[in-house]
Amino acid sequence: MSLSDRAQPRVMAQDVDVDQLQKGANDRKREVYWIGFLQGALSSKRIESGEEDAILAEADKFVEFFEDPDAADLAEDIRARCFSGQNDFMTALENVIKEKRSEIQSAAPYSERDEVNEFLGFCAGIVCDGVILKAEAEAMLSRFHDSMVLSSSVAFRDLWRALEAALADKILTEEESEEVRAWIALLVGDGYVDTGIPNIGNTAELDEPIRDAAHITLKGACVVLTGPMRMGTRDFIITEIERCGGEVAKTTTRKTDYVVVSSTASKNWRTTHFGTKIERAKELIVEGYKLRFVTEPALEAAIKLQATSA
């Protein structure tokens, strides 16, 4: 029996829930990212030139996604210039953060993934005006020192090193500020002042795995498998991938297209617990290579579809 036939009942059952699960995960990612963004904008203890426009754009986009009343009120107040000064504006942002965090945590406790996404939003809030101040650099470095999740993540390693080197003498030069900004841009893109596009609508995925088989093309692809797979033996899976026109490599390299994360992998594989194949893939993603992680169910489904049509 082929993997396509063997996997079909399981794949069909998984398809029922995967869209809803993915939507829930993406919604939470944007909500946590929004919290981080506002914290980043506040990290210099003042509202800098260009930040008000960026906050308004992000609030509008957040309302578009969620019809969130707090974000809607914030956007309306910014447009109406209701704030008596910077302190009043910052207090309003802090209240939005408090309310949204309480809402999110009442739904589910904060996870390592939430911490990573909040930090990405934090970086986006800092870079939204295109300038990195010393207070902002210190705030980012403080987060690394306080979090095992962030400090152990390969994805953030270069930013952390740049911050440590830049602030070693307690001074942030223009050249050091620009280097930090460049590392942030690799993670979350350029700031609103440079792009005119709200960041929350396209939150950085870094290592977000592909869950939809429609986004996987095995023909001509180089695939790396990690860990024991539930769908069958490694030799069997390799044969099936080759039948779809792909090839399987033993290690992750710049030629790798997909790294398949086993269903038996640790739930913390994105942040702290992963092997050398995943670690190397994270490094290459940060460097700009287009390889992607793939869940084992998505690989099953892709083989089923593409082996049948081959």
Q: How do residues 50-84 score in pLDDT, each as one tens digit?
A: 999 999 999 999 999 889 999 999 999 999 999 99
Same domain, yes or no: 102 and 61? yes
Would you call 295 exposed, middle or buried from its count of C-beta atoms within 10 A (0-12, 13-18, 19+)? buried
Same domain, yes or no: 185 and 40? yes
Residue 9 lies in a domain: no
CB atoms within 10 A of CB 107: 9
Q: pLDDT for 230-251, tens place per residue? A: 888 889 999 999 999 999 999 9
The total number of structural domains in the chain stands at 2
Residue 12 lies in a domain: no
User: HEC string of 134-198?
Assistant: HHHHHHHHHHHHHCHHHHCCHHHHHHHHHHHHHCCCCCCCHHHHHHHHHHHHHHHCCCHHHHCCC
Same domain, yes or no: 198 and 213? no
Range of 269's domain?
208-309
Same domain, yes or no: 62 and 154? yes
Residue 184 lies in a domain: yes
Same domain, yes or no: 221 and 127? no
Specify the pLDDT at position 24: 63
| Displacement of CA 164 from its chain's centroid (Å) | 23
Same domain, yes or no: 262 and 285? yes
pTM for the structure as a whole: 0.69
The SS3 assignment for 225 reads strand
Would you call 65 exposed, middle or buried from its count of C-beta atoms within 10 A (0-12, 13-18, 19+)? middle
Query: Which tokens is 14 given?
Result: 């998984």
Same domain, yes or no: 250 and 222? yes
Same domain, yes or no: 75 and 151? yes
Same domain, yes or no: 151 and 233? no
Residue 3 lies in a domain: no
